Amino acid sequence: MASSSFNDKHSALRFADVGALSKRMLAPIDGYEKAPLVSLEEAVKPLVNIVPKIERNVYVVQENCQNPEDGLTTDESA
């Protein structure tokens, strides 16, 4: 029986696996620059049922990005 850490490792690899991307040129995504800026928590809400533990991951990266030295906000740095 597989452990949950085994499944977590494979989930992370699946989301980060970019080796099979097509080499063909794609049209740019238009219109996003007109969308309002929202917090990271708000931005990931549509992904909650798709990406396992995304809310926990957002919390962790925000905690790790407190007081960024690059002039960005916590959300931008995260």
CB 61 within 8 A of CB 78: yes
Predicted confidence band at 15 (pLDDT cuts at 50, 70, 90)?
A: low
Check whether 43 has a pLDDT greater than 90: yes
Compute the half-sphere exposure of residue 1: CA atoms within 13 Å on the CB side of its CA: 2
> For the chain, which residues make up each domain, given as ranges?
36-78
Q: What is the pTM of this model?
A: 0.57
Highest mean pLDDT among 2-11, 49-58, 68-77: 49-58
Q: Which pLDDT band, with edges at 50, 70 and 90, does 67 fall under? A: confident
Between 46 and 13, the higher pLDDT residue: 46
